[in-house]
């Protein structure tokens, strides 16, 4: 976390200690001298003890929400949001999600997607390591379920993907691409709205991810089966939009070219080449390739207008919710 945020968090920590001590001490003083702190016949703490801790935590959270941590640094907001998620503090997590949505730009969008990946793709089979040191703080019963955060985080992720769409060339060349969750890279590269100057940029990003994934699995990239690792990622590069020279390249950014990598079968290679030749001749409209491999991506001007309109609608809805809440 950014050093500038530490004094703020230390002050909040002191508030926690003071309120918890005050609440629990007050409850203890109300007990009779001969009354045991814990029931002698029960293994679990008395409900009153749990209630005291929960009340103290809620009171602390109410104070902190009245004066929430404000920062213009999205990476600090990201750390604070993750801390709130780990501690099941729903109001705090929502607050920092809202702040992040306002701060997403081309320089941090990929890092946000990378950071929230484990939460977005949360499942019962891949549980997150929560830190329930305090009672869960929720606004309704539905939020007591640990997967409550998936939908709001997906909305944050979608906002990031919009920004990535508009800055495809720059962002796909970043090293962080190699560490993305499989589903994030799949969704990112298969979007019709992703704007790139060449499909070879997408192909290169996928190959870099593949090599890193082989390292994560302790596999030799030269002997591993790329089809079993890449799966649907094989077809997110729109080979039909490449030039014949690009498609038949021996290497692209140091990686074997599409027809040499072993991810496409002979028929697919022939169909792609025939499509490219027909397209370049412009004499005949060729039959579209499967898996959207020849579908043009949305043009930049249209996508910018769409993104601005969606952002305006989201902001308007947020204002209405704030007014009527």
SS3 at position 40: coil
Measured distance CA(260)–CA(248) in Å, rounded: 8
Whether residue 140 sits in one domain with residue 7: yes
Residues 86 and 132 in one domain: yes
Element (H, E) at 163: helix 150-166
Same domain, 248 and 197: yes
Q: Tell me if 40 is assigned to some domain.
A: no
Based on the fold, state whether residues 209 and 287 are members of the same structural domain: yes
Q: Report the pLDDT value the prediction gives residue 34, as an integer from 0 to 100.
A: 46
**Same domain as 185, residue 139:** no
- Per-residue pLDDT averaged across 11-30, rounded? 50
pLDDT tens-place string over residues 49-100: 445 555 555 565 666 656 666 778 888 889 888 888 887 787 888 888 999 9
Mean pLDDT estimate for the chain: 78
Q: Tell me, yes or no, whether 162 and 99 share the same domain.
A: yes
Q: What is the average per-residue pLDDT within 115-138?
A: 65
- The alpha carbon torsion through 211, 212, 216, 219 (nearest 10 deg) reads 10
Give the pLDDT mean for 212-238. Answer: 97
**Are 258 and 180 part of one and the same domain?**
yes
Query: Could you tell me if 136 and 188 lie in one domain?
Result: no
Q: Is 22 part of any domain? A: no
In this structure, the answer to whether residues 218 and 156 fall within a common structural domain is no
pLDDT at site 251? 97
Mean pLDDT along residues 109-134: 73
Is the model more confident about 244 or about 132? 244
DSSP code for 234: G
- 193 and 283 belong to one structural domain: yes
271 plus 229 within the same structural domain? yes
Between residues 27 and 222, which one has the greater pLDDT?
222
Tens digits of residue pLDDT in 161-196: 999 999 999 999 999 999 999 999 999 999 999 999
Range from 8-22, 66-80, 147-161, 261-275 carrying the lowest mean pLDDT: 8-22
Please indicate, yes or no, if residue 320 is contained in any of the structural domains: no
Out of 57-61, 187-191, 228-232, 233-237, pick the least confident: 57-61
Distances (CA, A) of 37 to 44, 125, 310: 12, 39, 56
Is residue 28, in this structure, part of any structural domain at all? no
Q: Given this model, what pLDDT does residue 45 score?
A: 44
* Domain residue limits at 105: 1-12+52-166
Which residue has better confidence, 56 or 41? 56
pLDDT of residue 83: 83
pLDDT higher at 87 or 1: 87
Confidence (pLDDT) at 256: 96
The closest of 250, 253, 233 to 293, measured between CA atoms, is: 233
pLDDT in tens, 266-324: 999 999 999 999 998 887 777 899 999 999 998 644 545 555 566 556 656 655 655 55
The tens digit of pLDDT for each residue in 240-262 reads 999 999 999 999 999 999 999 99
Task: Say whether both 149 and 204 belong to one domain.
Answer: no
Distance, CA of 44 to CA of 302 (rounded, Å): 61
Whether the predicted pLDDT of 135 surpasses 90:
no
Find how far residue 34's CA is from the centre of its chain: 54
Domain end point (choices 166, 190, 224):
166
The reported pLDDT for the residue numbered 38 is: 40
Domain count, the chain: 2
DSSP state of 35: S
Is 321 part of a structural domain of the chain? Answer: no
Alpha-carbon span 166 to 163, nearest angstrom:
5
pLDDT at 127 over 90: no
CB atoms within 10 A of CB 254: 9
Confidence at residue 244, expressed as pLDDT on a 0 to 100 scale = 96
Cα–Cα dist 304/164, whole Å: 12
What is residue 212's predicted lDDT score, i.e. its pLDDT?
Answer: 98
């Amino acid at each position: 976390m950014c050093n500038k945020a530490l004094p703020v968090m230390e002050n909040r920590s002191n508030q926690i200690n003071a309120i918890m001590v005050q609440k629990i001490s007050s409850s203890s003083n109300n007990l009779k001298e001969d009354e045991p702190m814990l029931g002698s016949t029960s293994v679990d703490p008395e409900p009153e003890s749990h209630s005291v801790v929960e009340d103290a935590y809620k009171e602390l959270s109410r104070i902190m929400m009245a004066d929430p941590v404000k920062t213009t640094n999205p990476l600090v907001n990201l750390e604070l949001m993750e801390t709130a998620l780990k501690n099941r503090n729903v109001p705090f997590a929502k607050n920092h999600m809202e702040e992040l949505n306002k701060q997403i730009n081309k320089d941090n969008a990929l890092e946000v997607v990378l950071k929230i990946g484990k939460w977005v793709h949360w499942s019962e089979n891949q549980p997150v390591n929560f830190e329930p040191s305090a009672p869960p703080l929720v606004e309704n019963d539905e939020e007591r379920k640990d997967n409550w955060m998936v939908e709001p985080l997906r909305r944050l992720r979608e906002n990031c993907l919009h920004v990535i769409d508009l800055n495809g060339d720059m962002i796909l060349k970043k090293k962080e691409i190699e560490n993305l969750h499989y589903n994030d890279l799949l969704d990112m590269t298969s979007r019709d709205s992703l704007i790139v100057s060449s499909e070879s940029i997408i192909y290169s990003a996928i190959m870099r991810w593949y090599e890193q994934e082989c390292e994560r699995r302790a596999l030799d990239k030269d002997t591993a089966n790329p089809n079993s690792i890449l799966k649907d990622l094989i077809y997110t590069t729109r080979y039909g939009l490449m030039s014949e020279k690009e498609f038949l390249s021996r290497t692209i950014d140091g990686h074997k070219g599409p027809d040499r990598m072993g991810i496409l079968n002979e028929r697919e290679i022939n169909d792609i080449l025939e499509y490219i030749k027909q397209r370049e001749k412009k004499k005949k409209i060729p039959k579209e390739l499967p898996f959207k491999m020849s579908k043009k991506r949305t043009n930049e001007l249209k996508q910018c207008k769409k993104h601005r309109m969606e952002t305006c609608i989201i902001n308007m809805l947020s204002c209405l919710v704030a007014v009527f809440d």
